[in-house]
Each structure stands twice: as C-alpha cells, then as structure tokens.
Amino acid sequence: MIPPLLGIDIGGTGIKGAPVDLETGKLCASRLKIPTPRPATPEAVAAVVAEICNAFFAVVGDASVGIAVPAVVTRGVVRTAANLDTSWIGTDASTLFVERLLRPVVVLNDADAAGLAELTYGAVKDASGVVLLVTLGTGIGTALFVNGQLVPNTELGHLAIDGFDMCDKACAAARVNDSLSWKAWSARLQDFLGYAEDLLWPDLIVVGGGISRDAHRFLPRLRLRTPVIAANLQNEAGIVGAALAA
C-alpha cells in the first residue's frame, strides 16, 4: 500500500491542504483551508503551510509534501507573483519550505499540479496527444501535456487580446467582479480559448477550477474546433496533484 502524502495548494485567497490516497486520488481526510495572509509574503505563507502540516501530522508524519503555488516555478525557485506578494519573485521556495517544515518538499505551479491530477485520476486519464488543461479561478492557469508529458509553466492565461491580460478578463472571478451574464463571460472565454487553440492546435482542452461544476452553463456556448470537456477533480485537483508530485 502506498502511504498517503500531503498536498498543499496555495491560492490568492486560501491555502488548502489534505492528505491524499495516491492509489485513488481521493482525499483521506477533509481538507483544511486557511485564508491566505495579507501581505502574502514567503514567511507568512510558509507559517500557514507549517500549520497545515502540523494539523495532518498524525496521518502523514514528516513524509515529503507537495506544494502548489500560483506562479512560475523553475528548479524550486518562484519566478513570478501574480496573486502573491512580489517578494516571492526569486525566492527559493524549496529551501524556504524545507527549512520551515523539516521534511522533503516538491514545489510546482498550481495549474501544472491540477493537470497532473486530472491526467492520473480524472477527466483525461492516460490521454495522449496534445492536451491543454485550463484552470479558471482567481486567475487562469494552464497545464500543457504532450503524450502525457507535462510541459511546465506554460502561463497561457496571460495571453493578451486587444491589450488585455486574459487572466483578468476571462477568469472565473471576472464573471462575478464584472457582473457578467454566463453568455457575456463565455464570449470572453471563447476569445481566450480560441486564441490558445490557434497557437497550439491541441487534441483536447480540459476546463477545470471550481467553475467546471457549472460547465453546462458555458461549454455549450463555446465554438472551438478542439473538443472541450470539464475536469473531474474541480477544486481538489491542486491538492491531489501536489501530493502526486511529492
């Protein structure tokens, strides 16, 4: 039996974690969610991550932990900070968390984590070809797979159309913040996904994030040449993928 591992998903509004059964991809305990501290500095965020590790110590002990962050991560170093404090840029997150948590860690982009989870347990289990997973939440994250192999840190959510960063215009939060109808928001999503498919010509697009629960409200409105499906794991994909990476 594979022992459960802890996955932690750092978001702009909340930091969520839970132990994950890696045989099934299911959470072994209810997830713990703590509001993201403001300012979301590396030290403040690391303190919350430590709290989550402590809360699940009885289940996972000091086994390695996977940590998903809403940023580009190369070799453990955070390179961007769209939804976190800018002091993250250049921070060696791997070293920071290892020193704080006293256990091995794997740090990766949150959309990449969600994509790994969907490819292993979810909507696109074992999918081949070019698969683009898009997470719609406070921002837009993307994970690109070529025959099951992740191309990390694609950041297609920041594609600009007419000078606007689509991460702000077509994310799930924009529908609420800009008081858009599903029709109006779907038109923005259409622009974004249409642009992305023209660049990549994927075989499949998977739409994730909590909003994929409402997929019936917007997927039928999209006019894309690529098949589009909703993700299965929704808000838990980041936690599950982080544990998987660990």
Please select the residue that binds ligand BGC; options are 25, 42, 70, 241, rule is CB under 6 A: 70
* Span from 19-27, 57-65, 66-74, 225-233 in contact with ligand BGC (CB under 6 A): 66-74
Between 165 and 191, CB nearer to ligand BGC: 165
Question: Could you say which residues in the range 106-145 bind ligand BGC, by CB under 6 A?
Answer: 109-111, 135, 139, 141
Q: Which listed range, 21-29, 32-40, 67-75, 223-231, lies at the site for ligand BGC (CB under 6 A)?
A: 67-75
The number of helix segments (H) and strand segments (E) in the chain equals 9, 15
DSSP state of 170: S
Report the candidate in 245, 246, 240, 237 with the shortest Cα–Cα distance to residue 20: 240
Candidates 48-56, 70-78, 187-195, 229-237; binding stretch for ligand BGC (CB under 6 A): 70-78
* C-alpha–C-alpha distance, residues 14 and 131, integer Å: 28
82 binding ligand BGC? (CB under 6 A): yes
Q: Residue 64 half-sphere exposure, CB side, CA atoms within 13 Å? A: 11
Least separation in angstroms between residue 58's CB and ligand BGC is: 30
User: The tokens 């993307």 sit on which residue?
Assistant: 142
Scanning residues 160 to 219, which ones bind ligand BGC (CB under 6 A)?
167
| Strand pairing class (204-208; 105-109) | unpaired
C-alpha–C-alpha distance, residues 136 and 60, integer Å: 30
- Tokens 């997150």 correspond to 93
Which tokens go with 203? Answer: 């075989």
111/233 with CB nearer ligand BGC: 111
Find the binding residues for ligand BGC in span 18-37 (CB under 6 A). none
Q: What is the DSSP string of 106-156?
A: EEEEHHHHHHHHHHHHSTTTT--SEEEEEEESSSEEEEEEETTEEE----G
Sole window of 26-34, 49-57, 104-112, 179-187 interacting with ligand BGC (rule: CB under 6 A) = 104-112
Q: Which stretch binds ligand BGC (CB under 6 A): 18-26, 64-72, 181-189, 221-229?
A: 64-72
Closest CB to ligand BGC among residues 82, 105: 82
* Closest to ligand BGC by CB, 53 or 72: 72
Q: Is 42 or 70 the residue whose CB approaches ligand BGC more closely?
A: 70
Check: CB of residue 10 under 8 Å from CB of residue 53.
Answer: no
- Binding region for ligand BGC (CB under 6 A): 70-72, 80, 82-83, 109-111, 135, 139, 141, 155, 157, 167
